[in-house]
Amino acid sequence: MSLSTESGYPGGSRDTARAMSQDNVQVLREMYGRRTLADAASLMHPDAEMHQPSTLIDTDHYYGRDEVVRGTQRALEAWRELDFIPEEVIDLGERAFMRVRLSGRARTSGIKVEQMAFHLWTFRDGMPWRCEVFFSEAEALEAAGLRE
């Protein structure tokens, strides 16, 4: 899986902040391309966080790499297969907004599902630290400080 598009950091000059934010985009690109959750989590900050939307059955928040992996594994239990396919990443400096297509098959019913999710990442020490998950694009854009 790879990111199909990216937007640059607002501003015209190639300064340190821009270079750092482009590195953040590269880290996300690599992380979402990893084959296993453990491999992906190895690129996260040790104190990584995942915050789920209240509309999910599992609305827990997870703190630390191992807990983020555990929380993701819990979410995957309902699926026979589920792919996270990043379709866009918008570089926001120390944050990144991602449109992620979820494509999978439910474990019990076998029904094929396609849905968009939105991940708002915050970086700490140059590593993905906090992931806020949204299923409403409007809510995600608002949280990111972006407008449609």
Strand partners, 134: 118
**Highest mean pLDDT, choosing among 19-33, 46-60, 100-114:** 100-114
Residue 22 has pLDDT above 50, yes or no: yes
Q: What is the CATH number of the domain that holds 135?
A: 3.10.450.50
Domain contains 53? yes
> What is the domain extent for residue 102?
14-144
- Cβ distance 89 to 97 under 8 Å? yes
Least Cα distance to 72 among 34, 22, 109 occurs for 34
Domain contains 2? no
Residue pLDDT, tens place only, 30-87: 999 898 899 999 999 999 999 988 776 666 889 999 999 998 888 888 899 999 999 9
